[in-house]
C-alpha cells in the first residue's frame, strides 16, 4: 500500500467531498480577486471594450447587414451584441479547464491536489464555477447597461428558457474544455493552448453565426456549424429575445443543445479521468527538472 493510498483512505469521498473541494477552490479565486481589486475593474473594462468594438463594427455594417438578419428581427447590432455577450461566458467555460490544469502543473501544485481524493476535480470544478459566475455577472451588467441606454432592444422573453440555453451552452463548452485539457497529458500539450479549444475558438467565430449570419455562409461552413453547440444557443436566444418567439416552439433546438451538453461533458470527464490515470502511470503529474 503506497503512502498516497494510506493518506487517501482517511479522506472523505463522494459528491459532498467534491462540492466542498470545489467550494474551497472557488473561495480561493474570490479571495485573490479581493486581494487585487484592480483586476476586477480591469476585467470589467476589458469586457466592455470587447462589447464596444463589436457594437461599433455592427453599427458600421448595420446599413447593409440588417437585411441578412431579418429572421432575428432585422437589427444587426442587437444580433451581434447578444451573441457576443453569450459567447463570452461560454468561452470562459471553454478555456478554464486547460488553464487550471496547466497553471497547477507549472506551479507544482498538481501533485499536491492529487494527494486529496477530490483535489484535482475539486479545483477544476471550483475554478470553472467561479469563471462562469464572474463572466456571467460581467456580461449581465453589460447587457443591463446596453438595454438601459437603448443600444440593445429586446422583446419580452421566456427567462427560464434563456437560462436553460445558457446552462447547456456552458456545460457543453466545459465538456469541450475538459477534452482539451485532457490532451495536456494524453498528447503532452503542456504549453500554449490545447488543439481542441484552439480550433473550436476559431470555429465559433466563423461558422456559428456569432458575427456573421449563418445564411450568408457558404454551404460547407453551414454544415460544419450545425454540429456546434454555440450555433444552437445563439439561434435559440436570439429568436427568443429579439423576436419574442415562445420557447415552446424552440424545444427541438433546446433538446439538441441538451444532448450536445451531455455528450461533450461525458466525453470530457472520461477523457480527463483517462489522462490523469495515464499521467500517474507515466509519473507525469509533477514537473520533473
Partner 1 sequence: MAIPSTSERRWWMRARYELVTLLAFAVREYRIWQSYRVNQLMWLANIFVTSLLFFLMGRMVKGQASHLMGAAYGTNYMSFIVVGVAVNVFLYTNLADPYTRIARSYFNGTMDLYLLSPMSIFTPLLGLMTKSLLDDYPRLFIVGAFGAFLFGATFRFNHALLALGFTVLLLAAAFGIGMLSASSFYLWNIKRGTEPVRFVVQQLMATLLAGTYYPVTVLPRPLRWAASLIPHTYAFDALRRLMDPGAHLGVRVLPLQEVLPWSPLAVDGAALGVMTLILVPLGLYAYGRGIEKARREGSLTRWQ
- If one asks whether residue 217 binds partner 1 (CB under 8 A), the answer comes out as yes
Contacts of residue 151, Cβ cutoff 8 Å, sequence gap at least 6: 55, 77, 81
Contact with partner 1 (CB under 8 A) among 52, 244, 246, 266:
52
**Binding segment (CB under 8 A) for partner 1, from list 49-57, 104-112, 118-126, 162-170:** 49-57
> How many other C-beta atoms lie within 10 A of the C-beta of residue 74?
16
Contact 145, 64 (CB under 8 A): no
- If one asks whether residue 60 binds partner 1 (CB under 8 A), the answer comes out as yes
Contact with partner 1 (CB under 8 A) among 198, 224, 269, 280:
198
Contacts (CB under 8 A) with partner 1, residues 231-270: none
DSSP 37-52: HHHHHHHHHHHHHHHH
CA dihedral 146, 151, 155, 157 (to 10 degrees): -20
- If one asks whether residue 106 binds partner 1 (CB under 8 A), the answer comes out as no
By C-alpha distance, which of 146, 197, 156, 151 is closest to 176? 197
- If one asks whether residue 32 binds partner 1 (CB under 8 A), the answer comes out as no
- Angle ∠(98,143,177) on CA atoms, nearest 5: 15
Nearest-angstrom CA–CA distance, 263 and 179: 11
Contacts (CB under 8 A) with partner 1, residues 177-196: 192-193
- Smallest gap, in angstroms, from Cβ of residue 110 to partner 1? 21
- If one asks whether residue 59 binds partner 1 (CB under 8 A), the answer comes out as yes
Total of chain residues touching partner 1, rule CB under 8 A: 28
- Smallest gap, in angstroms, from Cβ of residue 40 to partner 1? 11
C-alpha cell at 152: 440593445
- If one asks whether residue 49 binds partner 1 (CB under 8 A), the answer comes out as yes
Nearest-angstrom CA–CA distance, 130 and 27: 8
CB-nearer residue toward partner 1: 47 or 97: 47
Contact with partner 1 (CB under 8 A) among 205, 244, 249, 273:
205
- Smallest gap, in angstroms, from Cβ of residue 98 to partner 1? 14
Contact with partner 1 (CB under 8 A) among 53, 141, 223, 274:
53
- If one asks whether residue 211 binds partner 1 (CB under 8 A), the answer comes out as yes
**Binding segment (CB under 8 A) for partner 1, from list 124-132, 164-172, 208-216, 244-252:** 208-216
Contact 51, 152 (CB under 8 A): no
CB-nearer residue toward partner 1: 27 or 202: 202
Nearest-angstrom CA–CA distance, 117 and 17: 8
Nearest-angstrom CA–CA distance, 230 and 90: 8
Contact with partner 1 (CB under 8 A) among 36, 115, 137, 274:
36
N-to-C CA span, the chain: 27
Contact 122, 25 (CB under 8 A): yes
**Binding segment (CB under 8 A) for partner 1, from list 20-28, 63-71, 132-140, 273-281:** 63-71
Q: Which residues bind partner 1 (CB under 8 A)?
A: 36, 38-39, 42, 45-46, 49, 52-53, 56-57, 59-61, 63-65, 68, 192-193, 198, 202, 205-206, 211-212, 216-217
Amino acid at each position: 500500500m503506497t503512502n498516497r493510498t494510506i493518506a487517501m483512505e482517511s479522506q472523505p469521498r463522494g459528491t459532498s467531498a467534491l462540492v466542498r473541494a470545489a467550494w474551497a477552490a472557488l473561495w480561493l479565486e474570490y479571495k485573490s480577486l479581493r486581494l487585487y481589486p484592480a483586476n476586477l475593474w480591469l476585467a470589467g473594462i476589458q469586457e466592455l471594450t470587447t462589447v464596444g468594438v463589436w457594437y461599433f463594427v455592427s453599427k458600421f455594417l448595420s446599413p447593409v447587414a440588417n437585411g441578412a438578419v431579418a429572421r432575428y428581427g432585422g437589427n444587426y447590432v442587437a444580433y451581434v451584441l447578444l451573441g457576443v455577450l453569450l459567447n463570452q461566458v461560454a468561452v470562459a467555460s471553454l478555456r478554464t479547464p486547460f488553464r487550471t490544469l496547466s497553471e497547477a502543473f507549472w506551479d507544482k501544485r498538481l501533485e499536491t491536489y492529487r494527494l486529496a481524493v477530490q483535489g484535482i476535480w475539486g479545483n477544476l470544478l471550483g475554478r470553472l464555477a467561479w469563471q462562469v459566475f464572474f463572466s456571467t455577472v460581467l456580461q449581465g451588467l453589460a447587457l443591463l447597461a446596453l438595454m438601459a441606454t437603448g443600444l440593445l432592444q429586446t422583446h419580452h422573453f421566456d427567462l427560464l428558457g434563456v437560462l436553460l440555453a445558457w446552462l447547456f451552452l456552458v456545460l457543453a463548452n466545459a465538456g469541450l474544455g475538459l477534452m482539451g485539457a485532457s490532451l495536456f497529458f494524453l498528447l503532452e500539450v503542456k504549453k500554449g493552448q490545447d488543439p481542441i479549444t484552439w480550433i473550436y475558438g476559431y470555429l465559433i467565430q466563423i461558422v456559428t453565426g456569432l458575427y456573421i449570419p449563418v445564411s450568408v455562409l457558404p454551404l460547407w461552413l453551414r454544415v460544419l456549424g450545425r454540429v456546434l453547440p454555440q450555433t444552437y444557443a445563439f439561434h435559440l436566444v436570439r429568436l427568443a429575445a429579439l423576436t419574442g418567439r415562445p420557447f415552446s416552439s424552440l424545444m427541438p433546438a433546446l433538446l439538441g443543445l441538451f444532448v450536445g451538453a451531455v455528450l461533450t461533458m461525458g466525453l470530457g470527464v472520461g477523457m480527463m479521468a483517462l489522462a490523469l490515470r495515464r499521467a500517474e502511470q507515466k509519473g507525469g503529474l509533477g514537473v520533473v527538472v
